[in-house]
Amino acid sequence: MSEWTRVASTSDLKPGRMMQVTVDDEPVCLARTADAEFLATSDICSHEYVLLHDGFLEGDEVECPEHGSMFSMRTGEVKNLPATQPVGVYDVKIEGEDIYLRPREEANA
Ligand code: FES
């Protein structure tokens, strides 16, 4: 089981915005939805090497800025082509004002 990593404070991100953080030397896209929920996926699009936090947050989905692939930030699954592979997802834990992330381990991995 992976350890939790503190990546940011809740005040670092306004609702509807995304930022890049790092977990285990991997770039992670951390988002705060309009409903003030924190979600996190890999920051690298599965189509090409493009940073997702430079894209667009729509509800709980992130849209890649390069070719418009969309991914669920809850499950990592592709919601819009051209990407065909999912992106990794991180579990989020909030303690006070501290945001912690942990790579989600798939049940059948
Ligand atoms: S690089 Fe993200 S959709 Fe092509």
Tell me the CATH number at 41. 2.102.10.10
pLDDT at 108: 46
Q: Do 11 and 96 touch, CB atoms closer than 8 A?
A: no
Q: Is the CB of 104 under 6 A from ligand 1?
A: no
How much distance in Å is there from the Cα of 56 to the middle of ligand 1?
Answer: 12
**Do the domain assignments include residue 97?**
yes
Read off the pLDDT of each residue in 31-37 and give the average, rounded to a whole number: 95
Query: What are 48's two structure tokens?
Result: 């090409």
Q: How far is it, in rounded angstroms, from Cα 33 to Cα 76?
A: 15
Which candidate, 92, 91, 99, 101, places its Cα nearest to that of 10? 99
Total domains present in the chain? 1
Per the structure, the complete domain to which residue 72 belongs is given by: 5-103
Whether the per-residue pLDDT at 109 is higher than 70: the answer is: no
> To test ligand 1's pocket by mutation, which of 42, 43, 46, 47 has the most ligand atoms within 8 angstroms of CB?
47
**Do the domain assignments include residue 108?**
no
**How far separated are the first and last CA of the chain, in Å rounded?**
12
Q: Do 52 and 61 touch, CB atoms closer than 8 A?
A: no
- For 22-31, the pLDDT digits (tens) are 999 999 999 9
- pTM listed for this prediction: 0.94
pLDDT band at 2 (very low <50, low <70, confident <90, very high): confident
